[in-house]
Amino acid sequence: MLRALVASGLLAFSSAALLASAPATAQGTPPDKCSHAPAAKAKRSMFGNMLGGIANSALGRLGAPSSVVGVSLPVGTLLSDAIVKMLDCKEQQQAAKATDTALRGGVGTEVKWNSESRANVSGRSTVTAEEKLADGGQCMTVSDVVIVDGEETVVPKKMCRAKGASGFARA
């Protein structure tokens, strides 16, 4: 009971704090959610970690995977910096989802995506190799391709997960 009250309080406090800290814009359009300012990153990280921990705990008890419930994928653990710099927020989520889906399919799986925010941007993630580690972990090589204005950028990456872990992260 106490745990539920504390979690509810943290959720209410952090929601209010996030709303209070959101900058107002002159034209009423929402601010860029992908702001890369250090202060914005620190604030998102602090509240995101708190809320993410609460959500993961609650979802884990229910047995629901976070991707089913609509929680954003951890872009920083799934995409390389080179790819992140080329894409806007929505595209980063699309690329991260493509990587996550391709990893679930294994070697040979290719997942394509088209930008929902820019007509001239698309990409794909392809799993090209798999490696079993001595400690029971697993690594996969994924080739990310992003096409912006007809210019193709290919970035290979190694994704690993430890034995018993549920998700992959860049190695």
pLDDT in tens, 25-66: 333 333 344 645 444 454 454 455 444 555 444 434 444 444
**Judgement on whether residues 165 and 82 belong to the same structural domain of the protein:** yes
pLDDT tens-digit profile of 125-154?
999 999 999 999 999 999 999 999 999 999
- 90: enclosing H helix or E strand: helix 89-105
pTM over 0.75: no
Residue 22: per-residue pLDDT: 40
In the chain, the number of structural domains is 2
**Judgement on whether residues 9 and 65 belong to the same structural domain of the protein:** yes
**Judgement on whether residues 57 and 134 belong to the same structural domain of the protein:** no
Asked whether the beta carbons of 140 and 129 are under 8 A apart, the reply is yes
Residue 65: per-residue pLDDT: 45
What distance in Å separates the CA atoms of residue 149 and residue 122, rounded to the nearest whole number? Answer: 9
**Judgement on whether residues 90 and 52 belong to the same structural domain of the protein:** no
Choosing from 69, 91, 109, the residue where a domain stops is: 69
Residue 61: per-residue pLDDT: 41
**Judgement on whether residues 125 and 48 belong to the same structural domain of the protein:** no
**Judgement on whether residues 103 and 166 belong to the same structural domain of the protein:** yes
Choosing from 69, 92, 107, the residue where a domain stops is: 69
Residue 37: give the domain boundaries.
2-69
Cα radius of gyration rounded to whole Å, the chain: 18
**Judgement on whether residues 112 and 44 belong to the same structural domain of the protein:** no
Residue 139: per-residue pLDDT: 97
Residue 75 confidence class, pLDDT cut points 50, 70, 90: confident
**Judgement on whether residues 103 and 163 belong to the same structural domain of the protein:** yes
